[in-house]
């Protein structure tokens, strides 16, 4: 046989204290500490009985209540009494309770406001017609992105390659021109496509160096959509000066 | 372009927007108009809709303007459409949200001290639902994270801006001075008794 117990759900020790105060119509500015402490401890006992986990905050509050109670029992010290401001030991707790009460009411108000919104319908997203100039946001790729993309390409290179003996087939200068002219024809190049037709490691290295050099000369910019994403190469329109043609060797 | 033309353009923009249209966005389209004029025209549009008693109106919310239906017609709309109900916020979530809304920017510690309980799970829910976000760190020992509410928060509660939150001063009847006064009185009273 089992019992079902309906427990008021409290949001914490402050909420529980406010409940006692409201239930017994206690004047919050003059809390009978002794009575409240007993009630509070009884409630904790009850929670224990129900095998509920008592959060640490409840225990801290129990200690605070007992501390206030003991302070009230002791006669005020002579020196303290002489001072003009006699601070009620309860004051801090009262302020906390009032502050909490304020936000509890604010929360209730928000709840009402939210409910008021349920009768208001707004336009539905008209789907794909409206892609409010959703430019894909890019961020500039850094040197490490370039290097890791480069090492990926090196790894993907077939192990067995035929060694054609070609004398200085590729130079950085030529490659730079190649890339630059490709970008004149097309607005955007994929990093990997530059290496697609590379015949050997040497060409890959030369191509990579050319990219680095073009970046250094501010002729191109490299971007990626996401971290570790494919790197895209575009022309740096900010510097359209014909620097590339005059720049000599590396 | 005349004001009236600009106003019609904004009306068209409002018609297709599924999010509140901010006046800066309207200005991106109507470059020759200054912010003041754009705001005035949007306001005029709002009152035009208000006067003419249409099925929908222009509402000012979350720093922008938006076309929404008159709540009066909700029963009829419901016959045709179901509104996707957003999950209701739990009481702890609402309380925490209220504290952040009024006290922002605020650290987790300050929130916990007001609520008297830990807010671990709650703050995560609020962040996940985009109602609050981390705005930075407080220049204090430990550089704790500080939280603020988002635009979605304003939208959800139908607020044009944070200054439109219900005045918190109205919630508690007595001011702090009064508290200590009463406490002092109580002390005097108990002293007399003893």
Residues B148 and B185 placed together within one structural domain of the fold: yes
Nearest CB to A121; choose among B68, B94, B102: B68
Nearest chain A residue to B20 by CA: give it.
A122
Q: What angle do CA B95, B82, A128 make, to 5 degrees?
A: 95
Spatial separation of the C-alpha atoms in residues A125 and B17, rounded to whole Å = 8
Check residue B137 and give left, alpha or beta (phi > 0: left; psi -120 to 50: alpha): beta
Give the pLDDT confidence score for residue B106 in this predicted structure.
Answer: 92
Return phi, psi of residue A170, to 5°. Answer: -120, 135
Read off the pLDDT band of B98 (50, 70, 90): very high
Chain A residues 7-36 within an 8 A CB cutoff of chain B? 9, 11-15, 29-30
Question: Final residue of a domain: which of B31, B53, B78?
Answer: B78
Domain assignment of residue B84, yes or no: no
Interchain proximity A15–B98, CB inside 8 Å? no
Most confident of A202-206, B27-31, B150-154: B150-154
Q: Which of B58, B161, B90, B157 is nearest to A116 (CA)?
A: B157
Nearest chain A residue to B92 by CA: give it.
A11
Structural contact between residues A249 and A173, judged by C-beta atoms closer than 8 angstroms: yes
More confident residue, A132 or A176: A176
Q: Measure in Å the smallest separation between the Cα of B150 and chain A Cα atoms.
A: 15
Residues B174 and B147 placed together within one structural domain of the fold: yes
More confident residue, B70 or B175: B70
Spatial separation of the C-alpha atoms in residues A17 and A219, rounded to whole Å = 70
> How many CB atoms lie under 10 A from the CB of residue A142?
10
Domain assignment of residue B136, yes or no: yes
The DSSP result for A174-226, as a single string, is: HHHHHHHHHHHHSSEEETGGGTTT--SHHHHHHHHHHHHHHHHTTSEEEEESS
Domain assignment of residue A6, yes or no: no
Structural contact between residues B144 and B129, judged by C-beta atoms closer than 8 angstroms: no
CATH of the domain at B96: 1.10.10.10
Spatial separation of the C-alpha atoms in residues A86 and B189, rounded to whole Å = 13
Residues from chain A that touch B99, judged by Cβ atoms under 8 A, are 103, 106
Chain A residues 118-147 within an 8 A CB cutoff of chain B? 118-126, 130
Query: A101-115, A191-205, B5-19, B174-188: which has the minimum mean pLDDT?
Result: B174-188
Torsion of CA A43, A48, A53, A58, to 10 degrees: 40
Give the pLDDT confidence score for residue A143 in this predicted structure.
Answer: 67
What is the tens place of the pLDDT at every residue in B47-63? 888 887 888 888 888 88
Domain span including residue A127: 13-245
Residues B42 and B107 placed together within one structural domain of the fold: no
| Torsion sign, CA atoms A35, A40, A43, A49 | negative
What is the tens place of the pLDDT at every residue in A48-99? 777 666 778 888 888 888 888 888 888 766 655 555 566 777 888 888 888 8
Give the pLDDT confidence score for residue A16 in this predicted structure.
Answer: 87
Interchain proximity B116–A100, CB inside 8 Å? yes
Domain assignment of residue B83, yes or no: no
Q: How many CA atoms lie within 13 A of A102 on its CB side?
A: 23
State yes or no: pLDDT of A5 exceeds 70.
Answer: no
Mean pLDDT of chain A: 76
Give the count of Cβ contacts less than 8 A between chain A and B: 134
Domain assignment of residue A55, yes or no: yes
Interchain proximity A106–B168, CB inside 8 Å? yes
Interchain proximity A55–B118, CB inside 8 Å? yes
Read off the pLDDT band of A199 (50, 70, 90): confident
> Which residues are CB-contacts of A222 (< 8 A; sequence separation ≥ 6)?
A140, A141, A145, A146, A191, A211, A215, A231, A232, A233, A234
Domain assignment of residue A4, yes or no: no
Domain assignment of residue B147, yes or no: yes
> How many CB atoms lie under 10 A from the CB of residue A51?
6
Mean pLDDT of chain B: 81
Residues from chain A that touch B180, judged by Cβ atoms under 8 A, are 91
Give the pLDDT confidence score for residue B97 in this predicted structure.
Answer: 93
Q: If residue A69 lies in a helix (H) or strand (E), which one and from where to where?
A: helix A56-73
Going through A91-171 in order, the beta strands assigned E by DSSP cover 139-140
More confident residue, A232 or A2: A232
Contacts 24+ apart (CB under 8 A), A236-241: none
| Torsion sign, CA atoms A11, B135, B29, B162 | positive
- The burial class, CB within 10 Å (0-12 / 13-18 / 19+), for B105 is middle
pTM (predicted TM-score): 0.60
State yes or no: pLDDT of B8 exceeds 60.
Answer: yes
Interchain proximity A55–B89, CB inside 8 Å? no
Domain span including residue B182: 91-193
Q: Which of B8, B122, B25, B109 is nearest to B64 (CA)?
A: B25
Give the pLDDT confidence score for residue A135 in this predicted structure.
Answer: 46
Give the pLDDT confidence score for residue A11 in this predicted structure.
Answer: 76
* Number of domains composing chain B: 2
Question: Final residue of a domain: which of B50, B78, B106?
Answer: B78
Residues B112 and B188 placed together within one structural domain of the fold: yes
* A94 at B interface, C-beta within 8 A: yes
Beta bridge partners of B59: B66
Interchain proximity B158–A120, CB inside 8 Å? yes
What is the tens place of the pLDDT at every residue in A154-188? 777 766 656 666 566 678 888 888 888 888 888 88
Residues from chain B that touch A130, judged by Cβ atoms under 8 A, are 16, 18
Give the pLDDT confidence score for residue B148 in this predicted structure.
Answer: 92
Q: Measure in Å the smallest separation between the Cα of B133 and chain A Cα atoms.
A: 18
Structural contact between residues B156 and B150, judged by C-beta atoms closer than 8 angstroms: no
State yes or no: pLDDT of A242 exceeds 60.
Answer: no
* Number of domains composing chain A: 1
Domain assignment of residue A188, yes or no: yes
Domain assignment of residue B86, yes or no: no
Nearest CB to A29; choose among B16, B66, B183: B183
Structural contact between residues A38 and A83, judged by C-beta atoms closer than 8 angstroms: no
Chain A residues 186-245 within an 8 A CB cutoff of chain B? none
Most confident of A1-10, A42-51, A205-214: A205-214
Structural contact between residues A40 and A17, judged by C-beta atoms closer than 8 angstroms: yes
Rounded average pLDDT over A107-121: 86
DSSP designation for A122: B
Q: Measure in Å the smallest separation between the Cα of A52 and chain B Cα atoms.
A: 16
């Amino acid at each position: 046989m089992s019992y079902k117990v309906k427990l008021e759900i409290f949001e914490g020790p402050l909420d529980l204290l406010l409940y006692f105060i409201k239930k017994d119509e206690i004047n919050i500015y003059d809390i009978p500490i002794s009575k409240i402490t007993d009630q509070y401890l009884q409630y904790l006992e009850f929670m224990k009985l129900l095998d509920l986990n008592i959060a640490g905050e409840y225990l801290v509050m129990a200690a605070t209540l007992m501390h206030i109670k003991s302070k009230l029992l002791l006669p005020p010290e002579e020196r303290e009494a002489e001072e003009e401001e006699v601070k009620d030991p309860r004051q801090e707790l009262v302020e906390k309770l009032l502050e909490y009460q304020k936000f509890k009411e604010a929360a209730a108000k928000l709840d009402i406001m939210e409910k008021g919104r349920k009768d208001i319908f707004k336009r539905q997203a008209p789907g794909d017609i409206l892609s409010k100039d959703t430019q894909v946001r890019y961020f500039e790729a850094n040197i490490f992105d370039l290097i890791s993309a480069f090492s990926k390409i090196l790894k993907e290179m077939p192990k067995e390659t035929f060694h054609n003996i070609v004398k200085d087939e590729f130079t950085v200068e030529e490659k730079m021109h190649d890339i630059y002219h490709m970008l004149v024809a097309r607005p955007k190049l994929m990093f990997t496509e530059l290496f697609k037709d590379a015949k050997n490691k040497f060409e890959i290295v030369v191509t990579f160096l050319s990219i680095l050099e073009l970046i250094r000369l501010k002729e191109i910019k490299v971007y990626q959509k996401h971290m570790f994403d494919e790197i895209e190469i575009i022309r740096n329109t900010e510097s359209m000066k014909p620097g590339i043609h005059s720049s000599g060797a590396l | 372009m005349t004001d009236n033309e600009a106003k019609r353009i904004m009306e068209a923009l409002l018609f297709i927007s599924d999010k509140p249209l901010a006046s800066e966005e309207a200005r991106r389209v109507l470059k020759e108009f200054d912010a003041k004029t754009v705001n005035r025209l949007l306001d005029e549009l709002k009152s035009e809709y208000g006067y003419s008693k249409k099925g929908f109106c222009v509402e000012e919310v979350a720093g922008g303007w938006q076309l929404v239906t008159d709540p009066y017609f909700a029963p009829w709309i419901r016959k045709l459409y179901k509104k996707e109900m957003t999950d209701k916020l739990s009481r702890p979530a609402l309380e925490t949200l209220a504290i952040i809304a009024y006290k922002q920017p605020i650290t987790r510690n300050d929130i916990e001290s007001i609520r008297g309980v830990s807010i671990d799970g709650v703050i995560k829910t609020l962040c996940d639902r985009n109602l609050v976000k981390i705005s930075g760190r407080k220049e204090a020992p430990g550089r704790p994270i500080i939280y603020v509410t988002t635009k979605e928060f304003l939208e959800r509660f139908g607020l044009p801006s944070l200054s439109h939150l219900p005045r918190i001063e109205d919630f508690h009847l007595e001011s702090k001075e009064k508290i200590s006064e009463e406490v002092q009185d109580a002390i005097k009273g108990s002293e007399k008794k003893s």
